[in-house]
Structure 1
């Protein structure tokens, strides 16, 4: 069975990780996910993606340990974009929404952290249990202390304890908690809102945020004002930039063309 299912509606792509029983990711699945997300990135007609898991119990528990026992190397070929196709995918300048429909632990939580917004079903639970297996949650160790309070991030990394959607929301790890039966409806509602927005501005925002993560404020601002970021340079020279100003002055909704 195909472990990745996609649904396309207008400018929105829904990607469902569907590998019963737990939606764990092996090397082959990771490579497929990389191809799917690279295709989304490179398709000019797509603007927003939703990532979720099949079923109601698991979003993703991360690495498929059964596949590892059968010979999948932990340092094997994950494909373009690294583990899950997102964590290291370059130039991903389109919004991605993670709709966490259940357990998200280990690499599954790291995969959710690769999204720009996270919606969680009310029964969703989270953990980084790698510490208990004598290994490191590498991507989470890089990202989590930048997303939530440092001491909370370190506690979660060092203890591997489980936490629920309410706590995740309290620390700002998820944007919203949604009832299970409304999770995907809310994800699509948000995706449609984003799809109606200016794609060149989204690209510039994501490019700036990535660049600024490892820069001090003035260096980041210098690269923006000198138009050294390709997406910002494209935006400032675009018709969409002019359209935004015209629509405002004419008191109408802008028509974004992405160019």
Structure 2
């Protein structure tokens, strides 16, 4: 896939790169559609076990909504498949793990895009913010749920002042998982994604769903745990994991 989004395979990892550097990688309808299609395709491809989401350039990961398109009345619309996939990414509902590789600053919809990722590696020069209140808007693409990842006081400060925070503080409050020099962001994110991708697909999907639900809906998490425990613990992969441990070899996962 080329154009607004560039993708490449790296073993079991799909790297998806926002590719609008001249527009600060702003989210227009075409890019949103391309992201949604790419993550849906990855989720349905058993050869892909993790996604790394990054961007072109070395200063801006994503500046959020394309305000030029928005002001002209062009809204962020696309194919139903693309929009559905993009929305599921923002809500953290993809079954495939997603690693954010913030090569630069992420604000507005750009930060919301990262909030949909499971873990985030960021450049030490990056900044993170939700400035929508400064534009007469509010972060309706998932930004108001930032309090599920960071302390409430910090979430309210970021959303109500609209002011960004530096990468160091973002790490301190738990918004991101690692801070590295800009030139190391992709390699660090890829290494993390490969480590994740080496684990059992059914177990990964289960922990991703249950850990997120444990924060937002503990009752559903408890019920989901009962259901997933039955299916995951009786799977071929569960038997393979035990056998590989006993035989001192790497497991061969089948995702079933």
Whether TM exceeds 0.5 here: the answer is yes
Distance in 2 between residues matched to 1:8 and 1:251, nearest whole Å: 29
Residue 32 (structure 1) aligned with residue 29 (structure 2): no
The residue aligned with 1:41 is: 43
The residue aligned with 1:201 is: 203
Whether the 8 Å CA contact 1:31–1:84 is kept in 2: the answer is no
Summarize deviations over 1:135-187 as a string: whole Å, max 9, x none: 11123444211111101110100001121100100101110001111111111
Q: Secondary structure at the match of 2:208?
A: helix
Q: How many residues align?
A: 252
The residue aligned with 1:212 is: 214
Distance in 2 between residues matched to 1:86 and 1:25, nearest whole Å: 14
Whether the 8 Å CA contact 2:148–2:216 is kept in 1: the answer is no
Summarize deviations over 1:58-85 as a string: whole Å, max 9, x none: 10011001112232126x4574336577
Whether the 8 Å CA contact 1:101–1:124 is kept in 2: the answer is yes
Distance in 2 between residues matched to 1:127 and 1:150, nearest whole Å: 15
Q: For residues 156-175 of structure 1, what are the structure 2 equivalents within 5 Å?
A: 156-175=158-177
Residue 256 (structure 1) aligned with residue 253 (structure 2): yes
Q: Secondary structure at the match of 2:96?
A: coil
Match of 1:113 among 112, 115, 121: 115
Whether the 8 Å CA contact 1:169–1:177 is kept in 2: the answer is yes
Q: Secondary structure at the match of 1:81?
A: helix
Residues 85/53 of structure 1: CA separation in 2 closer, same or farther (3 Å cut): farther
TM-score norm. by structure 1 comes to 0.89
Match of 1:136 among 130, 135, 138: 138
Q: List structure 1 runs of 4+ shifted beyond 6 angstroms.
A: none
The residue aligned with 1:152 is: 154
| Structure 1 runs not aligned, ≥5 long | none
Residue 98 (structure 1) aligned with residue 95 (structure 2): no
Residue 223 (structure 1) aligned with residue 224 (structure 2): yes
1:215 offset after TM fit, Å? 2.6
Q: CA RMSD in A?
A: 2.1
Q: Secondary structure at the match of 1:139?
A: coil
Q: Secondary structure at the match of 1:94?
A: coil
Whether the 8 Å CA contact 2:112–2:141 is kept in 1: the answer is yes
The residue aligned with 1:243 is: 240
1:253 offset after TM fit, Å? 3.2
Residues 181/216 of structure 1: CA separation in 2 closer, same or farther (3 Å cut): closer
Q: Secondary structure at the match of 1:52?
A: strand
Distance in 2 between residues matched to 1:99 and 1:148, nearest whole Å: 19
| Structure 2 runs not aligned, ≥5 long | none
Whether the 8 Å CA contact 1:30–1:85 is kept in 2: the answer is no
Residue 8 (structure 1) aligned with residue 9 (structure 2): yes
The residue aligned with 1:178 is: 180
TM-score norm. by structure 2 comes to 0.90
